[in-house]
Amino acid sequence: MSAHLRSLFVGVTGASGAPYALRLVEKLAAADHRMSLCISDAGLDVIAYELGLDAEGRQGITSAFLARAGASEVTTVHSPEDFGASCSSGSAFPDAAVICPCSLSTAAEIAMGTTRTLIHRAGSVALKERKPLVLVPREMPLSVIHLRRLLEVSEAGAFVVPPMPAFYNHPHSLQDIIDFVVGKILSVLGVDQDLYPAWGRESVRAADCPVDGKPWDSLPHRRRDDRVGLA
């Protein structure tokens, strides 16, 4: 566990990307981090749909989500309307906050300093208290309005970490792609992670990664010494 990061606020909004949230909460719980979790109303629907949870209602879906992540024992759950929660106050705010996935409307609310839900409030408090705030915006394409709001939160001190997977780790599966993104989030938070290797690590071999049934480095323009995308 990071010596300086023991507690986190985790917000989950209605943007697509529930598998990222699940893996993030799973890894934080495994590292024994205490979490304050808030899922928006739209986030509940997306979590249930994308994760195929056989549950209904706020309590049922949240419980099923935490059970799958193995995080029930280290997580305090808050409703979006719970402005009396300790994580709503700067004097009792966790060590960091992450909103994953983060809808662009949520990013806009935080950028403008407005507070309609506890997730918005947590983002605002993290910024004013100079605590790490990581936003994982999941939307495409991005309009000028989206980009301006993301620039504003970045200028205010937030880390904007779009879920853009890389391929230098030669992912074998969808889980590998999810793990790369979550590993990046953990790295930004300062939490040790083993979900993907650093660039250049010798343990990653292109020849080990099949594409269309063929070794990666046997394909045209995919030789092991290529530097695709680094120009």
Q: 204 near 169, Cβ under 8 Å? A: yes
- At 179, list the tokens: 């793990």
Pick the CATH number of 7-196 from 2.40.390.10, 3.30.56.10, 3.40.50.1950, 3.90.1150.10: 3.40.50.1950
**Mind listing the pLDDT tens digit of every residue in the chain (231 residues)?**
345 789 999 999 999 999 999 999 999 999 999 999 999 999 999 999 999 999 999 999 999 999 999 999 999 999 999 999 999 999 999 999 999 999 999 999 999 999 999 999 999 999 999 999 999 999 999 999 999 999 999 999 999 999 999 998 889 999 999 999 999 999 999 999 999 887 765 444 434 444 444 443 443 433 333 333 333
Identity of residue 224: R
What distance in Å separates the CA atoms of residue 184 and residue 197, rounded to the nearest whole number? 11
Q: Which two tokens stand for residue 120?
A: 């918005």
Nearest to 80 by CA among 40, 115, 37: 40
- Residue 185's nearest CA partner among 107, 99, 105, 73 is 99
Tokens of 42: 């739209």
Q: Which residue has the tokens 């690590």?
A: 201
d(CA 126, CA 111): 12
CA–CA gap between residue 186 and residue 10 (Å, rounded): 12
User: Can you give the residue ranges of every domain in the chain?
Assistant: 7-196, 204-231
Tokens coding 18:
């529930």
Q: Cβ(12)–Cβ(102) under 8 Å?
A: no
Structure tokens at 145: 């309005």
